[in-house]
Amino acid sequence: AAGPVLWRRLLGLLPGRPGLAALLGRLSDRLGSYRDRRRRRSPWLLLAPLLSPAVPQVTSPPCCLCPEGVHRFQWIRNLVPEFGVSSSHVRVLSSPAEFFELMKSQINVAKRRVVMASLYLGTGPLEQELVDCLECTLEKSLQAKFPSDLKVSILLDFTRGSRGRKNSRTMLLPLLQKFPEQVRVSLFHTPNLRGLLRLLIPERFNETIGLQHIKVYLFDNNVILSGANLSDSYFTNRQDRYVLLQDCPEVADFFTELVGAVGDVSLQLQADNTVQVLEGMVHPYKGDRAAYCKAANKRVMDVINSARVRQQVLHAQTFHGDSLLTQEDAAAAGDRRPAPDTWIYPLIQMKPFEIQIDEIVTETLLTEAERGARVYLTTGYFNLTQAYMDLVLGTRAEYQILLASPEVNGFFGAKGVAGAIPAAYVHIERQFFRELCSLGQQERVRLQEYWRRGWTFHAKGLWLYLAGSGLPCLTLIGSPNFGYRSVHRDLEAQIAIVTESRALQQQLHQEQEQLYLRSGVVSSATFEQPSRQVKLWVKMVTPLIKNF
């Protein structure tokens, strides 16, 4: 028990305490292979990351004039833009069917923009319904008495979107051919898949090198953040998380610009199914890798930093002007939006471009969770980075980690090598559980497995309950899985939602409860079940492939 106490005291002696948590994790992954050879790891290893390079410090004092000054997470706005909204504009969805129907209805009423970022678009009848909705809306925009300037921008991953003869590209070609001035399809290609590696790695396996994994669905000023892809199972029986931000123009503008920035450094799909780079842009796998990554970093960071400055100016004008704008003044000026009681922070992770904002914020949140706090963390693919694992083991908050049972893993029953992936996750889960038991922490950190007949599980994110509170004040929701891929290989985006609204807190709490109610607590007996027996070759291969 002395280790964590000393760790807290050391942090207390150093300035800029919240930002210092972002120092964690730099050396942890490098030391991972050494630690895995040890039978018992100690929380003292948390001190090792202090030797790593520094990251941006969080130094701004709390703002006593602003309504958001009362919440303890305002340090995040030093890294990303902060969007204040009313909780009445935030709606938590619960089912794939609700998500699918909302997507179609939002497409049908869009007037100005539709922006969709996903790993891929499936090729079944439900996916065709979405494409048909887009076509119908585009046709209406041209036939209207006053034609609108509706633009449709779609961002997918190149390797996943090109898989098979019928694929995401062929699904979208009719839109490109019929509406060339209104539709843009961008296919992100990781700069790490190039040269001989690109020639030798076959289809499907090439997706392990790196992907466009962001899931954002935007219609005019309404934004859906999720972990769900545009595929039939995600519309029917694959459980995920979804949140709708209604009438949030600043948030919509940000994600439009973000998807546009990634689209600019991606390959552009042409009407003849070929791809091209934008004029003046470095090719992602034929051009110089360093030059490409530098250009991509600048393009994305320009979006983040310009939005952050815009929001800071808006914040200063609203709360720090010579005369503060009251709600009555705002209404008289034509702005009838309710005062904010909820704050949205977009967290971006693009390690190939040296952008690590989500990693920094997530590590800080896990470090700052104190005794009595409860963290509910869920992932469809339980494979925490070494840094996240050390934080869970070395801090004092209570954790309930929800993961997929083998039967609801998306790879369950797959053909070939992919069919062994659920067993590999069982092996990783068992190793982590053994470590919990060896450290005597199995009561503080509980593992729970989701199971639902005929369904698969893909939900990810966390809910943070402060000490003494029965409702969460913060949630993370989006595409990251808290694993090595999310941190180091793929392009990811999620949002931190901080709210003081009891109604929204109850929505988030209900969402968490609904997911956890379909789970069972993991114990030693769990791994004695016949379905949890892992073959020797899987155990041997897992350390080699877990980072892919």
Which two structure tokens, joined as six digits, stand for 233?
């199972």
In the chain, which segments carry CATH 3.30.870.10? 87-304, 340-547
Residue 320 CA, chain-centre distance (Å), reads 33
Digitized pLDDT (tens) for each residue of the chain, 548 residues in all: 334 433 443 444 444 444 443 333 333 443 443 444 343 344 433 333 333 334 344 444 444 334 444 478 999 999 999 999 999 999 999 999 999 999 999 999 999 999 999 999 999 999 999 999 999 999 999 887 666 789 999 999 999 999 999 999 999 999 999 999 999 999 999 999 999 999 999 999 999 999 999 999 999 999 999 999 999 999 999 999 999 999 999 999 999 999 999 999 999 999 999 999 999 999 999 999 999 999 999 999 999 999 999 999 987 777 665 444 454 554 444 455 678 999 999 999 999 999 999 999 999 999 989 899 999 999 999 999 999 999 999 989 999 999 999 999 888 877 777 788 899 999 999 999 999 999 999 999 999 999 999 999 999 999 999 999 999 999 999 999 999 999 999 999 999 999 999 999 999 999 999 999 999 999 999 999 988 899 999 999 898 888 88
Which one-letter DSSP state was computed for residue 326?
P
Whether 272 is a known active-site residue: answer no
Domain 340-547 in CATH 3.30.870.10? The answer is yes
Q: Token pair 């390079």 is at which residue?
A: 53
Q: Token pair 């494979």 is at which residue?
A: 383
pLDDT for 495 equals 98
Whether 215 is a known active-site residue: answer yes
State the Cα–Cα distance between residues 503 and 87, nearest whole angstrom: 8
User: Which distant-in-sequence residues (6+ apart) come within 8 Å of 219 by Cβ?
Assistant: 106, 107, 109, 110, 113, 114
Catalytic annotation, pick one of 29, 132, 220, 264: 220
State the Cα–Cα distance between residues 31 and 11, nearest whole angstrom: 22
Catalytic annotation, pick one of 151, 189, 215, 509: 215
Q: Per this entry, what is the length of the chain?
A: 548
Whether 286 is a known active-site residue: answer no
Which two structure tokens, joined as six digits, stand for 96?
């794939």
Burial of 200 (0-12, 13-18, 19+ CB in 10 A): exposed
pLDDT for 420 equals 85
Task: Please check whether residue 184 is in contact with residue 154, taking contact to mean a CB–CB distance below 8 angstroms.
Answer: yes
Catalytic annotation, pick one of 89, 151, 189, 213: 213
For 233-282, the DSSP string reads HHHHTEE--EEEE-S-HHHHHHHHHHHHHHHHTSEEEPTTS-EEPPTTPP
Alpha helix ranges (H) inside 28-180: 32-36, 96-109, 125-143, 158-161, 168-178
User: Which distant-in-sequence residues (6+ apart) come within 8 Å of 41 by Cβ?
Assistant: 35, 390, 393, 435, 439
pLDDT for 373 equals 96
Rounded to two decimals, the pTM is 0.86
Alpha helix ranges (H) inside 281-356: 289-319, 327-332
Task: Please check whether residue 458 is in contact with residue 239, taking contact to mean a CB–CB distance below 8 angstroms.
Answer: yes
Domain covering 87-304, topology: Endonuclease; Chain A (3.30.870)
